[in-house]
Amino acid sequence: MKALAGDAMALKLYQTKVKLNATRGNQFHGERQRMTPAAAAEINAYRGALRLIERGPRTSSEAEQQEMLRIRGKIGALLQAPTSWRSHALYSYETNMSQRTNGFSYVFSAQSVKQVSAQRELSALPARV
């Protein structure tokens, strides 16, 4: 029960930081995830098998091409599997932009444009594993 209270406090602190640090910019929130070591090792093994087939001394046969497609499908399935990923952190970014245009525009333009754009991280909340 104490761990849940600590998690709730950490989430509340994260939300407070986002609200206090935010200005007038566009905000976007997300979750960073990291691949599990087991999934990474399996994908590396599949990629090694693909390299062996692709770098062979001759043109790949029909069976080898089918095997390469099967291996690529396995890699794709691993990348899409939720079990291949674990939560790393929640984050909130803000994008601010300022633009100033001087001059006129009718059929042709005679303008001077100055523009500044920046992103900054408002807050991040690391996941507990």
Separation of alpha carbons 40 and 60, rounded Å:
26
Q: Spell out the per-residue pLDDT of the chain, length 129, in tens.
A: 344 456 778 778 877 877 777 776 677 777 888 899 999 999 999 999 999 888 877 777 888 889 999 999 999 999 999 999 988 887 887 777 777 777 776 766 676 777 777 776 777 777 765
Nearest 5 degrees, angle CA 43-CA 49-CA 51?
105
Containing 110, the helix (H) or strand (E) segment is strand 109-126
Tokens of 112: 């001077």
| pTM of structure | 0.57
Burial 10-42, CB ≥16 within 10 A → b, else e: eeeebeeebeeeeeebeeeeeeeeeeeeebeee
Backbone angles phi, psi at 23, to 5 degrees: -115, -135
32 alpha-carbon distance from chain centroid: 6
